[in-house]
Amino acid sequence: MCGIAGWVDYARPVDHDIARAMTDTMARRGPDAEGLWTDDHVALGHRRLSVIDLEGGCQPMAADEGPGARATLTYSGETYNFQELRTQLTGLGHRFTTRSDTEVVLRAYLEWGAGFVDRLEGIYAFAIWDRDRDELLLVRDRMGVKPLYYAPTPTGVLFGSEPKAVLAHPAFRPVLDADGLRDILSVAKVPGHAIFRGMREVPAGCLVRVNRTGLTEERYWQLRVAEHTDSLDDTIRTVRELLASTVEQQMVSDVPLCTLLSGGLDSSSLTALAAHATRTTGLGRIRSCSVSDPDLDGTAGPDANEDHVYARLLAEHVGSDHSELPLKAPDLLDPALRASVLRAYDLPIAKGDEHASLHLLFSIVRQHSTVALSGECGDEVFGGYRWQRDPDAVFSTTFPWVHEGRHNYQGNDVVFTPDLLAKLDLDTYERDCHSAAVAEIDARRHLDDPAEARYREVTYLALTRHAQVLFDRKDRMSMACGLEVRVPFADHRLVEYTFNVPWAMKSFDGREKSLLRAAMKDLLPTAVAQRVKTPYPSIRAEAYNRTLRERLADLVRTGTGPLDPFFSPDLKTRVRRDGAAALEAGMSRAALETTLQLDAWLRAYDVDVVL
């Protein structure tokens, strides 16, 4: 997947040492090779994780037609249809010197200009410097699976795969303002927002154009409401065909590949399809990996802590080369691990145990595989969450997962001063974010049935807001370990097709993920195919929460941290009197995690708070 960084300054030559420092922050994303390309007022940096064409494909990559390099590319991600594009481009006269998808992307730009993005299928984030036009393009994939951040400057732009690349430039000072704190304390991911003042994230399906006249964001892809005319049988068949094609396409790799197998319907479907593809192509057995840990629990259903049992069943059924990986919950409180998670993410998070467990899992997987297939986005695509099927949540006036799970985030009023909370006005912020999101597709103008329109809105929210949190978590934790994780359910063709399937068809048998269950039933054991969904496993041990309360109580008692001016006076009084017991009532785990992470982030990143 790699990591990229760069800098354009139209007023003065770029500093080579600074550009190198920005690139070096991406070392964990690309442990195999590095490169830096500079011209008068541009620097493009690259750190490589070698996956395809291990000997070729070095970056940044320049096209050498004419008196100089017409265009130079620094690229992160995978373009899954690169072989088809290569054939087209060869027919148009292009000659290739590598087998890499990187060279295909570069030559596609030379042939078709900025419109080439419509031809790409994959997950990617890259920058192209066009020497003839004196212009930079920053491009992000349609679903936003791969990250890309940028910060406009008075005379150009800074950019990188993660915020740390931008932060490495001495001219960018990390500042948290009220808008950034709203994003941290709310549970609504806002496309484009990057928490740090003056920094943005390239929105999914967008490109950013930078030239001497300024900077513009342009959308090249968006989900749109349309009529679905296929019958149920045709829809099921199409879903199966799309999934099979996508999984086979995403198995192209010159390094060891595995599937992440939880035992749920999503990961089991991917593993079964991957196993089928390897058998039919004579490639041998697919490798699958799962976790066995009695201290983790999905907290929903009698078999929530028995994922490994279903993973074993599926692995035996499809004949995968299966491994169970040790993951112990007590390790998730280790301060060194939590610091590593923060360094990987660059931002405070609300679900510390989930991020830490993934970090540990990916570090183990990386010992034998460089690429993994994962089931993120299956629930968003096929309607697997409880809040997608609960009428009270669906027809609320906010994000349905917020309506259903608000109690899981309570505690801001316990921690922070009333003046701060009044200034932030998180309730209004949440409503405004929700209204802006549903206005993007205007489903009620296109659909006569108000109920169906709302279900379409909820699907859109799931795909463009909820899934983005999962993509971010997956990307940061995996790339911190030098592991490339691919997400077949986020293929834009599958997403486009299923988005407009009526809700009655998506739930035709009265269960979650009806279409996926029907499409995959012939490849799965009955127990797996009929299994009730369980949420991502989290720690059920009360000792974990108690440790968080003790750490926060210690933080409040010291009275010297960056958050101290914003802690509620009542909280300080009760903690001095009752210690950690003062945090037992009204404080969710998410609030404890967020507060501790926020303090650690402000310290580690030396962030100025300007509210």
377 is catalytic: no
Residues in CB range of 435: below 8 A, 6 or more apart: none
Do the Cβ atoms of 298 and 287 come closer than 8 Å? no
E runs forming strands in 114-205:
122-130, 135-140, 149-153, 156-160, 175-177, 200-201
Do the Cβ atoms of 36 and 16 come closer than 8 Å? yes
Quote the CA–CA distance of 490 and 190 in Å, as a whole number.
19
Quote the CA–CA distance of 518 and 497 in Å, as a whole number.
16
Measured over the CA atoms of residue 501, residue 507, residue 508 and residue 513, the dihedral's sign is positive
Q: Can you read off the two tokens belonging to residue 74?
A: 């620094």
The terminus-to-terminus CA distance of the chain in angstroms comes to 37
Q: For residues 259, 343, 332 and 360, what is the CA-based torsion angle, rounded to 10 degrees?
A: 20
Cβ neighbours, 10 Å, residue 459: 25
Q: Can you read off the two tokens belonging to residue 343?
A: 């360094």
HSE-up (13 A, CA, CB side) for residue 181: 24
Quote the CA–CA distance of 461 and 473 in Å, as a whole number.
18
* Phi/psi of residue 3, nearest 5 degrees: -140, 145
Query: Which three-class secondary structure state does DSSP give residue 471?
Result: helix
105: exposed, middle or buried (C-beta count within 10 Å: 0-12, 13-18, 19+)? buried
Do the Cβ atoms of 584 and 541 come closer than 8 Å? no
- Active-site residue (options: 2, 206, 258, 377): 2
Burial 59-79 (b: 16+ CB within 10 A, else e): bbbbbeeeeebbbbbbbbbbb
Which residue from 75, 5, 67 is spatially nearest to 42, judged by alpha carbons? 5
DSSP secondary structure letters along 327-393: --GGGGG-HHHHHHHHHHHSS--S-HHHHHHHHHHHHHHTTT-SEEE--TTHHHHHT-SGGGT-HHH
Quote the CA–CA distance of 544 and 296 in Å, as a whole number.
11
Which residue from 23, 102, 89 is spatially nearest to 56, judged by alpha carbons? 102
Quote the CA–CA distance of 571 and 548 in Å, as a whole number.
16
Using CA atoms, how far residue 455 sits from 449, 503, 564, in Å, is: 10, 7, 43
Cβ neighbours, 10 Å, residue 179: 14
Q: For residues 54, 109, 493 and 403, what is the CA-based torsion angle, rounded to 10 degrees?
A: 90
Instruction: Spell out the long-range contacts of 388-395 with Cβ–Cβ below 8 A and sequence spacing 24 or more.
Output: 388/458, 388/459, 388/462, 388/512, 389/507, 389/512, 394/454, 394/455, 394/458, 395/451, 395/454
Quote the CA–CA distance of 414 and 556 in Å, as a whole number.
12
Residues with a catalytic annotation lie at 2
